[in-house]
Chain A
């Protein structure tokens, strides 16, 4: 009955058309705005109204398990139907429908702004207001002394953290485009340096981790102990626990965006990726984790660990590809997977390693040409792939708004430069490997001829470098950060003064994967026939 009333009220509030179109009266601005909102409310399609009422009802009645459907199905369907190119109704417009319910409006606004970021171009006001809305949301969750009575689907919780960081990153880039700003925008930016401030963003993530005792919980998971005690009052609630875990992954990502790779890895110290992990059921989280983890390894010159990370997730993506869920997540996952094939191609060039057949053939299909050019030491191609596949790096400091310059690309150029210089140190490694492969012993003079070098010293140099660069830290067990030095190439050698002795290498044929896959296939077939 309650809902009926609201509907009637909105119909009564119809405004004479002439009035609302008249914009000469500035003093009536407020009045006009009110009318505009009322008009908007009338414009809300019935399905959407129903959706909002239903969504609100779930929150009021605490029947949270129904949210999954609202979030993953109804919301996307309505967006597709009514709001493909325009924003959803503003929160103020729908507020009367839900009795000005604060938490409902916060959650609604979170979706509202996320939709603007995804489909439209956010204005500076959108950016500011979205930030303020996140503050409201996190305050609502973190400030009370008792856990709040709210449950959201895991996917939604992940999307909140993911979007929070995305908008932070997007804002950092936005504000560094000083040259493209008008006076009003610059004034707002100067006045509010607190908006999307890096400290505030980090503070949210660290607070969520702390409140949820997630690190303590992960330790208990790993070493045993009393889970309830470790989790505490907040951490035993799904909302806090999941937000805590996702904040760890969020920090992994933020630290990568800032170029702090070792701290990024450090964030993961209590997480065991190599065992089954309930948190990984949100596949977008799974993909993000591996992408940033692999990238951090790559930047720490741990190519074999990076390769392992990338292949394992690409394998996973291939497997879930068939269960195509939501288009927006699907596209994001697809893009990340393309990027990871590019990074994999870079790492494989620098550290030739056998990987599983399927991933290898996918990689060659996508980047075959790039691979052969990189093997010949073409730095331009390394650069091209790196810029395509790297995260969007940010400058966390507030730019100088007095200098009319767009600096949003500087952090990426900087990271790329460091990486390319590093490659430049070792671009001959694949070439030398290809020569060494052919011999048991080789005079250094002869290698010099192959490489077109005029001095033996230079040649020796390259051989020492080969050894230095192919010896990398590699994860064995324990924390993801830890690793022991091992020779990572399949071709190894030693020098007796001026003679290169190439070590025998015995390659066992790789049959595991093949057998396992065939057995699984057979089982599937048998099952199908039985059906």
Chain B
């Protein structure tokens, strides 16, 4: 979501941060940059990808469906940030009816509604698999989002359950659990304590800002 990606090449930055972002001649460069993101050679860069969609929006003759689906796939890996919806907002009704886009939209809805089991079932579909294939490490990124959401919700969770959420079994799951510091006890994982799942009363405080009081302090001056 941040606009200034530290690893962003200067060449790209000069396009995104200036009015060159509206120049159709820059599309090939930005396409290459998307390819690099897909290959995980550079960091995901939502601002650059949105700039591509905006170029499509202004110049419908430049629309390239391959890159639309790449951008949407990459946007899924940004969850819980709503990048996918931000991409959709730059497309239009007709593009959203495209079968590839619809398939990605299905995936997004499953994830947004936390129907993780459904997500993995959808991903078994050959065509869908093909769409997301271009994105290196796609499944791992999604697992990252699922784990984060689970960790925020649960203190303890059964092994069986988490295995189905993550679509991981046996050794793979054990390795993964280790990497995230989950401790197994009697087929139940204890998850690390974070702000979201700790047992601490939530205090809704009221703060008075100094600015709120300026007027009142002003009265004192008049006396």
Contact = CB atoms under 8 A, between A and B. Distances in A.
Real binding pair: yes
Interface of A: 198-199, 202-203, 206, 258-263, 266, 269, 299-301, 354, 395-397, 410-411, 413-415, 417-418, 421-422, 425, 457, 460-461, 463-465, 467-468, 471, 473, 481-483, 485, 487, 490, 492, 494-497, 501, 503-508, 510-512, 516, 519-520, 523
A505 B202 contact: yes
Interface stretch (B27-35, B79-87, B123-131): B79-87
A10 B212 CA distance: 61
Contacts of A501: 155, 199
B201 A506 contact: yes
Given A300-B82, A468-B80, A495-B154, A414 B93 contact: yes
A415 B89 CA distance: 6
A8 B204 CA distance: 76
B203 A464 contact: no
B58 A199 contact: yes
B85 A497 contact: no
Contacts of A467: 149, 152-153, 196
A490 B82 CA distance: 22
Contact of A487 (B54, B58, B161, B196): B196
Given A397-B59, A465-B114, 18 more contacts: A263-B50, A299-B89, A300-B86, A301-B85, A422-B85, A425-B109, A464-B114, A490-B204, A492-B196, A495-B157, A496-B155, A497-B188, A503-B202, A505-B202, A506-B203, A512-B208, A516-B213, A523-B216
A347 B213 CA distance: 28
A203 B115 CA distance: 45
A494 B197 contact: yes
Contacts of A516: 212-213, 216
Contacts of B90: 258-260
A31 to B, nearest CB: 46
B57 A396 contact: yes
Given A397-B58, A496-B155, A508 B206 contact: yes
Given A266-B3, A520-B216, A261 B196 contact: no
Contacts of A261: 86, 89
A503 B200 contact: yes
Given A415-B89, A422-B85, A463 B153 contact: yes
Nearest to A498: B158
B57 A202 contact: no
B204 A354 contact: yes
B112 to A, nearest CB: 5
Given A206-B19, A497-B158, A519 B1 contact: no
A462 to B, nearest CB: 8
Contacts of A262: 1, 3, 46-47, 50, 86
A466 to B, nearest CB: 8
A258 B57 contact: yes
A206 B19 CA distance: 8
A410 B197 CA distance: 43
B205 interface: yes
Given A301-B85, A397-B59, A506 B46 contact: no
B96 A464 contact: no
Given A263-B50, A506-B203, A511-B206, A410 B86 contact: no
A118 B76 CA distance: 44
